[in-house]
Structure 1
């Protein structure tokens, strides 16, 4: 579908930019900044960016992708485990959530489920998008299908219609806004109405 082609192109552009820069690895500043905050406080990071800079800066962060996937013996991908996420969210000192998806999210090629899975490497996730044909789910005329990246309009509906992992991530954000005494917002432009 056209939507899948757009998602694939977004991932390709991010990976091309990463390659052109030699890497977008936060070699110091972002990782150092987050480590410093994490030494004093529990750190729950909510990112709207599709890139994996936060993943690279926080390699040991809990994201709920703890389940195994029967995908031909591959060990480089994980399924989102709602029970583990709900149980461990407030216990983990370091949590990372990609509210709108990630270049590390893709599909399991051998699974019948269309829920995103997380790959260790973005290039492996990208391979699952190439030539993938997933039928779109509609709600009141808007596409709300599960996808590795949530883009375009009606993001709130997509979060609700696709609880794994996005609905759980959104709920965690709302809970954090209510329960957390400190909030640091960096680089938010205010264009997402659901936030």
Structure 2
């Protein structure tokens, strides 16, 4: 049986009730307002968001990105590092502000007060994120969702055809629920089993590369992450105002049960994330085929793992991308951030065509026919009609990924 590597982004869980990035953007603002700085001090999250927004606004319209909570959390890490006094902060501070005075923000007095304040709110935001996601997953709302049967059918259908290895970039338990018995990286006592992750020769696993609602920090300082199956139990997700871990260039990161924001390679240095990332590098080279679902190509560490593998023109595996983009231009003319990153990550520039057609497809028509946009020279197929909607063409997808069918199987059928 061939091995199928699956990478899941936020768009794969939205159809079964999990939040989108924009949903979490709104929640982050609420949580930032719940955090209570001393009188006269900043809501640093809102201040950084505004700065990022103004910075992006000055860019050309053709490449203008939008702020999101991950970008802002990452900039907060950078700001906290910049505000740390010598010799542990950013040396560029000497060029930008030789006196060490903060620019445009109000902080407590004291050498480390600014760093502590920013990290305090950053930890607060991450703890709230973990708690929010866990509340959404408690009591089986995923399984009760009206579309979970489609979600389950997609995974069970693929499981019948392939050995599956899933790298879930989301925190929810939807994929684990759809793949009962899959190895999550922890033993029966909830302790992380690094040896099995590295020595495992079989597939049938679901690794949460950025954390899970089942992750629980060891109290009181969070030096270890355990797995706790019962979501109604007591969890420790981080200590606001305490306990950071130093990574490259002396940047300090909060110890929390999940990771979000920038500097992800630094954040991945803690276990279990580092072992999961090492597994991603290994498994992407072992894979006979790759399926990417609901992913915005926004995580460079994931992109480079794929890019490094797919640079080799010989023996590169087929890649199917399941997304929802009814209003998009065809890849031939697409100039947005998603299209550019996909082309670079998958080493798959144009041409893209619906099989049997010589001109670039109109995406809305392609969706209505249940067809795929295919880059035949690079063996990449894009399904624009939504993650769960792909169950309609599951046999065709599996046949194409397995090599049992040519591109023509991905043409529209209606």
State the TM-score, normalizing by the size of structure 2. Answer: 0.40
CA contact under 8 A between 1:105 and 1:122: conserved in structure 2?
Answer: no
CA deviations over 1:59-100 (Å, ceiling 9, x no partner): 3110220163xxxxxxxxx01011122222x324x1000000
Partner of 1:107: 217
Count of residue pairs brought into register by the alignment:
179
Instruction: State the superposition RMSD in angstroms.
Output: 2.6
Relative distance call for 1:178 and 1:186 in structure 2 (3 A) is same
Matches within 5 A, 1:65-144: 65-66=186-187, 68=189, 78-88=190-200, 90-92=201-203, 94-109=204-219, 114-124=223-233, 127-129=235-237, 135-139=243-247, 140-144=249-253
Gaps of 5+ in 1: 69-77
- The answer to whether structure 1 residue 12 and structure 2 residue 123 are counterparts is no
Partner of 1:55: 176
CA contact under 8 A between 1:79 and 1:117: conserved in structure 2?
Answer: yes
Distance 2:134 2:173 in 1: 10
| Cα displacement (A) at 1:120 | 0.4
Relative distance call for 1:86 and 1:5 in structure 2 (3 A) is same
Distance 1:116 1:100 in 2: 12
Distance 1:144 1:173 in 2: 23
CA contact under 8 A between 1:49 and 1:102: conserved in structure 2?
Answer: yes
Partner of 2:294: 187
CA deviations over 1:24-63 (Å, ceiling 9, x no partner): 2263122221111111111000011111111221231102
| Cα displacement (A) at 1:142 | 2.5
CA contact under 8 A between 2:243 and 2:255: conserved in structure 1?
Answer: no
Distance 2:258 2:222 in 1: 16
Which of these two proteins has the greater Rg computed from alpha carbons?
A: 2
Moved more, 24-33 or 180-189: 24-33
Distance 1:50 1:113 in 2: 18
Q: Secondary structure at the match of 2:141?
A: coil
**Greater helix fraction, Structure 1 or Structure 2:** 2
Distance 1:83 1:67 in 2: 14
Gaps of 5+ in 2: 1-119, 303-414
Relative distance call for 1:113 and 1:191 in structure 2 (3 A) is closer
| Cα displacement (A) at 1:134 | 5.0
CA contact under 8 A between 1:115 and 1:146: conserved in structure 2?
Answer: no
